[in-house]
Amino acid sequence: MTRPNNKGQATTETVLLLPMFVFFLYAFAKIFAALVLIQKMEIASYYAARRWQLESHRNYQYVAHDDGVLAADIKKRVAEYLGYQTAIGRFLDLEGGAPVLTIERTQVWQVVYLKVVTKPVVVSWMYKSKGYEFEITKYVPNRDRPIAFELPGMK
């Protein structure tokens, strides 16, 4: 019994399977990048909330400084950490020039919202996803300065 000539089989399989392998590798990298983005957002939102808690003022005379200078510096540092305007930000498909960082003052809490929007993932004609919106909310208590603890009657 003689076997048929199958000389070109390996080359054909490589040519057909390589694009599929590259597509799945790219898709896996994009999913991993989204997970990294979410973790970076958690760290950045914690930084923004903690810095706002420690450096903002409760006195109304300083509200303009807090909402202007302090909030702008926090937003700038959060955008740098997340990777806006860098190669990392382009791979993460970050949309816009900066994340949306909103700080809302209430009676008991100061609420810090961090929102990041991503562009749709497009792989030629094979795949297109919609862009995603990730939002993280942190609640910061108004008691912002540590108070020395003293036991009654110990002084």
pLDDT, one tens digit per residue, over 12-63 is: 777 778 888 888 888 888 889 889 999 999 999 999 999 998 888 877 788 8
pTM to 2 decimal places? 0.75
Domain ranges across the chain: 14-141
67 DSSP assignment: I
CA–CA separation, 124 vs 120, rounded Å? 12
53 DSSP assignment: H
Task: Look at residue 116 and give its three-state secondary structure.
Answer: strand
pLDDT, one tens digit per residue, over 55-84 is: 888 777 888 888 899 999 999 999 999 999
The C-alpha torsion from 26 through 27 and 31 to 36, rounded to 10°, is 10
CA–CA separation, 139 vs 116, rounded Å? 18
